[in-house]
Amino acid sequence: MASTNPTPKSKCENAAPTFQTARLTFTPLAQTDAAPLHELRSAPEVMKWSRQGRPDASVTETQKWVDSYLAEAESNITQQESIVSKPDPRKDVVFAVREVAHVESGAKHDRIVAQAGIKKGKSEVTGVERFEIGYMFVPTVWGKGYASEAVKGMAQWWLSLYPEEGKGGDTEGVYAIVAKTNPASLRVLEKCGFHFVAEGVDDHGDEIVEFCMNNE
Domains of the chain, each with CATH number or no CATH: 19-168 (3.40.630.30)
Q: Report CA dihedral (142, 175, 65, 86) to the nearest 10 degrees.
A: -130
Q: Please give the Cα distance from 170 to 157 (Å, whole number).
A: 19
**pLDDT tens sequence across 71-129:** 887 776 555 555 555 555 556 789 999 999 999 998 889 999 999 999 888 888 888 88
Predicted confidence at residue 97, as pLDDT, reads 97
Question: What Rg value do the Cα atoms of the chain yield, rounded?
Answer: 17
Residue type, 28: P
What's the number of CA atoms in the CB half-sphere (13 Å) around residue 102?
A: 14
Give the per-residue pLDDT at 169: 47
Residues of the chain with pLDDT under 70: 1-17, 76-91, 162-172, 215-216
Q: In the prediction, which pLDDT does 51 show?
A: 84
Q: How far is CA 87 from CA 41, 80, 128, 174, in A?
A: 31, 6, 22, 19
pLDDT at res. 81: 57
Phi and psi, residue 202, nearest 5°: -85, -175
